[in-house]
Amino acid sequence: MSTLEIIAVLVNVLGVWLTARRIRWCWPVGVIAVLLYAWIFYDAKLYSDTLLQGIFAVLQGYGWWRWSQGGLSEGKVHVARLSLREGLLGLLGGAVGAVLLGGLMVRFTDAAVPWVDASLTAFSLVASVWAARKYVASWWLWIVLDVIYVGLFLFKDLQLTAALYAGFVVLAIYGLRAWQQDLSDQELQSLPATSGL
């Protein structure tokens, strides 16, 4: 456990908490978090996750832009349902990305766990895009991914990062419930008022 890992954990917790609260400042905080973890993952020979952090840095800008586009109430964004079509396309894209990236990692690097690392990377990108688009379903995918990440980081002797991702599971459950409630409130408000007889 290094000082860098401790700082990265604290910044990440803040970023996920802000995301769960639907506060758009989660995106700039996220940039700092992913840059810190890019360094940590490179040292651990988790090259797919290192690459993922670089892509996440770009996605943070996309998320900031998307969350700045209307749909704000009291400084918080409104969320939406993921369509079946977009959900299936996202999962298919994640699977294709996992196979392609895993193959590259096996062939060209000394990655510690290339297939697991590549799969988590590819599907994390899907979850990030869904979160940027404010889809409640992003939290379901994050819960699954974070549980698997806990095991990976324990295997790689990154205990503090494993604890962080265990905390992410808890925060993701909180985020899921908060976003589901917001979606439910939005849908209730959009129902036409009925008059009593």
pLDDT tens per residue across span 95-148: 999 999 999 999 998 988 999 999 999 999 999 999 989 999 999 999 999 999
Partnered with residue 162 across adjacent β-strands are none
Residue 179's pLDDT is what?
92
Q: What percent of the chain has pLDDT over 70?
A: 94
Is pLDDT of 31 > 90? Answer: yes
Residue 73's pLDDT is what?
64
Calpha distance 82→6 (Å, rounded):
34
Is pLDDT of 193 > 80? Answer: no
pTM above 0.85, yes or no: no
* 36 within 8 A of 4, measured Cβ to Cβ: yes
DSSP 3-45: HHHHHHHHHHHHHHHHHHTTBTTHHHHHHHHHHHHHHHHHHTT
The contacts of residue 2 (CB under 8 Å, 6+ apart) are 40
Q: What percent of the chain has pLDDT over 90?
A: 56
Calpha distance 63→195 (Å, rounded):
41
Is pLDDT of 194 > 60? Answer: no
Closest CA to 127 of 90, 88, 163, 99: 90
Residue 127's pLDDT is what?
96
Q: Where are the beta strands (DSSP E) in the chain?
A: 72-73, 76-77
